[in-house]
Amino acid sequence: MIVDDFLFCGSSPVVLDTITHHLSNRFGDIKLENGPKLQYLNMVIDASIPDKLTFDMSRYKHNMVDNLVLPTRKESECCTTNPTLPYLILRQ
């Protein structure tokens, strides 16, 4: 089993420690990040201000635009004859 990312949140360190202990026993070496400000799936989750949670997706959006390639004339012509083809192409 391959697990890419999980996000567990809670106010009880005991519960979070129990979850990470069980995951570590099951899957071996795992990487953890904790604290009031976390990086998760190209987002920054900030809980540093009491009673306020913010999600910063600027890096996510920046990376999405960086990977965006506008279609060439040939691809555009193809799209006009076949409306099922995408007008925007994402390449990695």
Least confident of 16-20, 44-48, 59-63, 64-68: 64-68
Tens of pLDDT, residues 8-44? 887 788 988 999 899 899 888 888 888 889 888 888 9
CA dist., res. 76 & res. 71, Å (int): 6
pLDDT at 64 exceeding the cut of 60: yes
Confidence of residue 49 (pLDDT cuts 50, 70, 90): very high
Q: Which residue has the tokens 């691809």?
A: 75
Q: 9 near 34, Cβ under 8 Å? A: no
The ranges assigned to domains in the chain are 1-56, 58-92
pTM: 0.54
Our CA angle for 5, 24, 53, nearest 5°, is: 40
Our CA angle for 83, 77, 79, nearest 5°, is: 20
Contacts of 36 (CB under 8 A, 6+ apart): 46, 47, 48
